[in-house]
């Protein structure tokens, strides 16, 4: 393995605790090492440039069945934006839902090296892994969804945490999944009948359980197992005016629960794309931001982490396992609607959406996403995301960084809104002068997400021993710059190393890398009841046999297995 020395860059790294000082970063055998340990390194001159660890995305929809529905049913999303093949790069298409090839390359161009697929329907796990396999460069894992799963509903109806945990462990292994994802708990099962669960106490039809019981039970099962990541939730009532109370109710379900994990995380609940869950008012007419109420709660409760789901004001494609929400959306915008309900497990929907700066609600949504970040007290617990592609494509992360780092850029955007004054009235952003620095950006995009995922032993920083994922950006924080310079620089890393392999050199992709797929293998005590229930459900209700369900190893050509021992 080659040795590298990245010399004289301005280094921002919360793990080492270095805030833009000039330092050298050494790489040897895929890992960061002390500079004294490299003998004959290739030297990268980073003088005048910014150096950060590889980015970590805790929540994006980048691989699997609904993503591919989004690709295949939107040919117009690829019109005139295709990038031809050249050099090591294969052809790349799609704007809001890029092909797997473009997904890998474009994340790398932004300096990201790890991306988690946020919702994997277990029955479609094989598909998700096929796409992950064909996404170059990135390390990836996928979160199977549990919040509407019949096993979970039946066990938690009777508070059977141990059985739930045993089932979770079995399903993580069967699907090669990474974490416990919950989407609109109970609501998507209700959608099997065209219904929904609109708050945490709305009972799930036929199953005699509430979303609150599901969420609390899955947090407890997650901690019973001590998984690397916490339960990761998209709460009920997404996208509706006045939903912030549901969000706060959901947060409160974590109260009093502490993490029981040896993977270094502090939270027991990660709530995702909180922008979509921070709405006040009771109609689109008096729709307003409740970001302060939401972030106050997060600021004062250290067992919660969130990601933003920031709106980028683009034409995009929404996609979620929240089936009833997508139906609601297509009723609003009358655009094409795809839906897939998945037997015994989950559902999903896909609808194109245009976040127009000329529409008041869209502009308010944009403000809310940024408010959450700017009002956050602990950037180690609030992560940058667009819930790609729901609030906007991930390729806009550098633009969000610009908005977070520059009040001038925010004001330009606010002033261009068609309903500027009404938007200002309904939000708080115009009064916020905070400008994040690159250290805080590194917390929100590197160290924080890595820690929340339980992966701070390999990702998120530049400390010796960590995997050598590092980006060099052509950006000098000590020279004057225009807001757009931030976006330009962070859209195109000058150099990128992924696990010690240089994948970008002089802004050009030079290698397809050495991608890995992460999954969690949790060992539990033998549980004959759960295995009997599994056999029974496959025999009677599934349409595939149990023996054809598990994803076999060859779908993960380069796996990275995290072993968890929950036998007791």
Give the footprint of other proteins on this chain (CB under 8 A). 63, 65, 67-68, 71-79, 82-86, 90-91, 93-94, 97-101, 123-124, 126-127, 130-131, 134, 150, 191-194, 206, 327, 330, 334-344, 347, 350-351, 540-545, 547-548, 552
DSSP state of 395: G
Residue 267 DSSP one-character state: -
Closest CB to other proteins among residues 1, 544: 544
Least separation, in Å, of the C-beta of 154 and other proteins?
A: 11
Shortest reach from residue 333's CB to other proteins, in Å: 10
- Closer by beta carbon to other proteins, 545 or else 568: 545
Q: Closer CB to other proteins, residue 196 or residue 250?
A: 196
Beta bridge partners of 25: 6
Residue 318 and residue 189: Cα distance in Å, rounded? 20
Q: How far is the CB of 180 from other proteins (least distance, A)?
A: 22
Q: Between 93 and 461, whose beta carbon lies closer to other proteins? A: 93
Q: Given the complex with other proteins, which of 3 and 315 has the nearer CB atom?
A: 315
Token pair recorded at residue 95: 């704007």
Handedness of CA 35, 40, 42, 47 (dihedral sign): positive
Q: Which is nearer to other proteins, 36 or 552 (CB)?
A: 552
The partner residues of 117 in beta bridges, in order of sequence, read 60, 142
Token duo for residue 300: 């004062």
- The least distance separating other proteins from the CB of residue 252, rounded to whole angstroms, comes to 32
Cβ distance to other proteins smaller for residue 65 or 147: 65
Q: How many CB atoms lie within 10 A of CB 188?
A: 30
CB atoms within 10 A of CB 557: 11
What is the closest distance, in whole angstroms, from the C-beta atom of residue 146 to other proteins in the complex?
17
Strand 269-271 versus strand 304-307 pairing type: parallel
> 328 vs 420, which CB is nearer to other proteins?
328
Q: Which residue lies nearer to other proteins by CB, 339 or 521? A: 339
Residue 497's CB is within 10 A of a number of other CB atoms, namely 29
Give min distance, CB of 102 to other proteins, in A: 9
CA 403 and chain centroid, separation: 20
- Residue 78 or 290: which CB sits closer to other proteins? 78
CB of 149 to other proteins, least distance (A): 13
DSSP E strands in 364-494: the ranges are: 382-383, 470-473
CA 364 vs. chain centroid, Å, equals 22
Do 491 and 534 form a contact (C-beta atoms < 8 A)? Answer: no
Q: Which of 289, 198, 215, 207 is nearest to 252 (CA)?
A: 215
> What is the greatest pairwise CA distance in the chain?
67
Nearer to other proteins, 228 or 349 (CB): 349
Least distance (Å) between residue 353 CB and other proteins = 12
Residues 6 or more apart whose CB falls under 8 angstroms from that of 526 comprise none
First CA to last CA distance, the chain: 41
CA distance 546 to 212: 30
Please, what is the minimum distance in Å from the beta carbon of residue 90 to other proteins? 6
Closest CB to other proteins among residues 279, 325: 325
Q: Output the smallest distance, CB 521 to other proteins, in A.
A: 20
Angle (nearest 5°) at CA 360 between 355 and 361: 65
Closest approach, Cβ 250 to other proteins, in A, equals: 26
Check if the beta carbon of residue 310 is closer than 8 Å to that of residue 359: no
Is 325 within 8 Å of 349 (Cβ atoms)? yes
Strand pairing class (288-289; 181-183): unpaired
- CA distances (Å), origin 291, targets 192, 245, 252, 359: 32, 11, 16, 19
Which of 204, 206, 231 lies closest to 217 in space, CA to CA?
231
The least distance separating other proteins from the CB of residue 249, rounded to whole angstroms, comes to: 27
Q: Which two tokens stand for residue 333?
A: 């915008």
Residue 460 beta carbon to other proteins: minimum distance, rounded to whole angstroms: 28
Q: How far is CA 395 from the centre of its chain?
A: 14
- DSSP bridge pairs for 56: 114
């Amino acid at each position: 393995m080659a040795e590298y020395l990245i010399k004289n860059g301005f280094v921002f790294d919360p793990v080492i605790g270095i805030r833009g000082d000039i330092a050298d970063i050494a790489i040897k055998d895929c890992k960061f090492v002390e500079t004294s340990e490299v003998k004959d390194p290739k030297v990268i001159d980073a003088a005048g440039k910014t150096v950060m660890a590889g980015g970590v995305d805790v929540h994006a929809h980048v691989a699997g069945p609904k993503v591919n529905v989004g690709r295949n049913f939107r040919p117009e999303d690829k019109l005139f934006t295709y990038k031809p093949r050249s050099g090591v790069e294969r052809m790349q298409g799609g704007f809001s839902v890029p092909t797997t090839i473009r997904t890998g390359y474009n994340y790398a161009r932004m300096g990201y090296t790890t991306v988690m697929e946020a919702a994997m329907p277990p029955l479609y796990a094989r598909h998700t892994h096929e796409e992950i396999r064909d996404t170059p460069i990135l390390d990836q894992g996928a979160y199977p969804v549990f919040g509407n799963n019949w096993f979970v509903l039946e066990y938690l109806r009777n508070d059977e945490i141990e059985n739930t945990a045993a089932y979770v462990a079995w399903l993580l292994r069967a699907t090669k999944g990474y974490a416990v994802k919950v989407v609109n708990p109970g609501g998507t099962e209700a959608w099997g009948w065209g219904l929904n669960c609109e708050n945490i106490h709305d009972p799930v039809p036929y199953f005699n359980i509430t979303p609150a019981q599901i969420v609390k039970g899955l947090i407890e099962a997650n901690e019973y197992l001590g998984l690397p990541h916490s339960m990761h939730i998209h709460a009920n009532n997404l996208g509706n005016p006045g939903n912030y109370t549901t969000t706060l109710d959901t947060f409160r379900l974590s109260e009093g629960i502490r993490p029981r994990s040896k993977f270094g995380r502090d939270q027991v609940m990660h709530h995702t794309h909180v922008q979509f869950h921070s709405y006040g008012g009771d109609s689109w007419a008096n729709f307003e931001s409740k970001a302060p109420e939401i972030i106050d709660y997060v600021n004062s409760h250290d067992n919660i982490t969130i990601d933003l789901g920031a709106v980028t004001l683009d034409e995009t494609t929404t996609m979620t396992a929240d089936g009833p929400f997508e139906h609601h959306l297509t009723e609003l915008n009358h655009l094409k609607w795809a839906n897939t309900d998945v037997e015994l497990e989950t559902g999903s929907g896909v609808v194109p959406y245009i976040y127009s700066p000329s529409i008041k609600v869209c502009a308010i949504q944009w403000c809310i996403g940024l408010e959450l970040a700017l009002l956050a007290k602990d950037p180690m617990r609030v992560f940058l995301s667009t819930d790609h592609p729901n609030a906007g494509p991930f390729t806009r992360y550098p633009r969000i960084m610009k908005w977070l780092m520059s009040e001038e850029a925010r004001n330009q955007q606010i002033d261009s809104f068609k309903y500027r004054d009404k938007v200002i009235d309904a939000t708080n952003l115009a009064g916020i002068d905070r400008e994040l620095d690159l250290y805080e950006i590194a917390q929100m995009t590197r160290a924080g997400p890595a820690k929340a995922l339980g992966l701070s032993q390999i990702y998120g920083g530049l400390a010796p021993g960590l995997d050598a994922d590092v980006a060099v950006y052509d950006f000098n924080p000590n020279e004057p710059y225009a807001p757009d310079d931030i976006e330009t620089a962070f859209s195109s890393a000058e150099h990128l190393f992924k696990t010690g392999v240089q994948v970008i050199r002089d802004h050009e992709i030079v290698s397809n890398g050495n991608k890995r797929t992460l999954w969690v293998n949790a060992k539990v005590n033998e549980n004959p009841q759960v295995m009997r229930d599994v056999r029974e459900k496959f025999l009677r209700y599934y349409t595939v046999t149990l023996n054809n369900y598990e994803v076999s190893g060859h779908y993960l050509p380069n796996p990275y297995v995290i072993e968890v021992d929950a036998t007791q």
